[in-house]
Amino acid sequence: MEAQKSATMTPRTNVASGRRSLGFEKTNLRYTPGQLTALRIPTSRRKPNTRNDIDPEQLAYIANIEWKLSYVTPLYKFRHTQLVLYSKQLSAFIVAEKQKGIAVEVGPEMGFKVVFSVVLGMTETDEDAETVFIKICSKPAFAVEGSAVKVVWSGWFTCVNGNLDYMRSLPSDFVSLPLFCTNGPESITALVKSWFTRMFDCYFGPLSLNSSILQWLGALWTECHPASNIRYLKLAWNLPTLPPLDISYTVHPQDAWNLWSSIRQNDSMEDGISIEEVRRFMKGLESHFFRHFRMHLSAGMLTRICTSLGSAHCDGTIKITGTQYITPVLMLLTECAQLKMPI
């Protein structure tokens, strides 16, 4: 494991060569005020395909857990080779903060351990930095040999199919890992964030998922149905009535797929999904709803998308169950996080 870690080199983001991303075929160019780069909102995305080259043991850490999403600006002088050192430093930082009297929910009178590791293979292009996983475990003061340690907090930085133009525009010594997912007490999340902010001169912000992203996820997962039963497609809206009204619509997986494939048939794009198709799919579901209830869902907000492959909530939480389709989901989230980058 140790050898593996040191072998992982942090990619230099100004490397000129690199595979062309297949994910972005047609794009709307939108120039940001900074004019440094152009951020692209894609109008089509690649169809999900299965992956099995990621270590299943490491994937197990990520699957079936509800993650809170944040975006983070590029890390200055972050080295994938220094993870052991970072573990020690973050650990020392938490101890110091604890002594200052900040309540940290690691458990009373308990020791804890910080472990940084790399999840190999969770990348799409050569320029994506490898995913960094952080685990904080508690160990009782009088630990019995072999007693199970409890993970009290975990989090990971990732970049899957990051925007090449953006990454190439960064000065050297910056590593772009824009998506930060956390699970555990908020107080620890805040500590970890503050340590990263100091160490790598970066900035964290909350990442919420707008309805367009949720719709993409819904379509992506539905597309997987023939290969891996999604069991249900559930959409949830919130209408701003007094008191607020929640509406959920759970569609039979086969019928959802039939609707999706009927929309797909008309289009000839083979390995891509266009935004137009996603829009028509959602409109198809909404108008079937409207025909029955004459209620305008557009007056409210899409809050949640769930299938047995995963669920996503508009407040920025996500759970991935079907790990074989993890990459397209992370690509989408990386893209969201990158759109938040100050330029």
Under the binding rule (CB under 8 A), the answer on residue 259 touching other proteins is yes
Task: Please tell me whether residue 258 binds other proteins under the rule CB under 8 A.
Answer: yes
**Which tokens sit at 13?**
């983001």
- Choose, by CB under 8 A, the member of 251, 302, 318, 333 that binds other proteins: 251
Q: For residues 183 and 168, what is the distance between their CA atoms, to the nearest angstrom? A: 31
Which span sits near other proteins by CB under 8 A: 61-69, 97-105, 144-152, 242-250?
242-250
| In the complex, minimum distance from the CB of residue 15 to other proteins, in angstroms, rounded to a whole number | 21
User: Considering the complex, what minimum distance in angstroms separates the CB of residue 21 from other proteins?
Assistant: 25
Start-to-end C-alpha separation, the chain? 37
Q: Which of residues 266-305 bind other proteins (CB under 8 A)?
A: 284, 287-289, 291-296, 299-300
Helix (H) or strand (E) holding 168: helix 164-169
**Can residue 146 be called a binding residue for other proteins (CB under 8 A)?**
no
Residues 193-222 that bind other proteins (CB under 8 A): 201-203
Binders of other proteins among 5-44, rule CB under 8 A? 33-34
C-alpha 202: how far from its chain's center? 18
* Amino acid at position 241, single letter: T
The angle at the Cα of 42, spanning 177 to 227, to the nearest 5 degrees, equals 85
The answer to whether the beta carbons of residues 241 and 261 sit under 8 Å apart is: no
CB-based contacts of 213, cutoff 8 Å, min separation 6? 312, 332, 336
Q: How far is the CB of 4 from other proteins (least distance, A)?
A: 30
Indicate the angle between helix axes 211-223 and 253-265, nearest 10 degrees: 100
- Mask 71-90, x = binds other proteins (CB under 8 A)? --x--x--------------
Nearer to other proteins, 110 or 295 (CB): 295
User: Stretches 42-50, 86-94, 235-243, 311-319: which one binds other proteins (CB under 8 A)?
Assistant: 235-243
Q: At its nearest, how many Å lie between other proteins and the CB of residue 245?
A: 4
**Is the peptide bond prior to 243 cis by the omega test (within 30 degrees of 0)?**
yes
Q: Is 93 in the site for other proteins (CB under 8 A)?
A: no
Q: Judged by CB under 8 A, does residue 186 bind other proteins?
A: no
Q: Residues 277, 282, 286, 291: what is their CA dihedral angle, to the nearest 10 degrees? A: 30
C-alpha pair distances (Å), 322 with each of 68, 170, 227, 265:
18, 34, 11, 26
Q: Whole-angstrom Cα distance, residue 296 to residue 289?
A: 9
Smallest distance from other proteins to CB 310, Å: 20
Number of residues lying near other proteins (CB under 8 A): 40
Which residues bind to other proteins, rule: CB under 8 A? 33-34, 73, 76, 201-203, 239, 241-252, 255, 258-259, 262-263, 265, 284, 287-289, 291-296, 299-300, 342-343
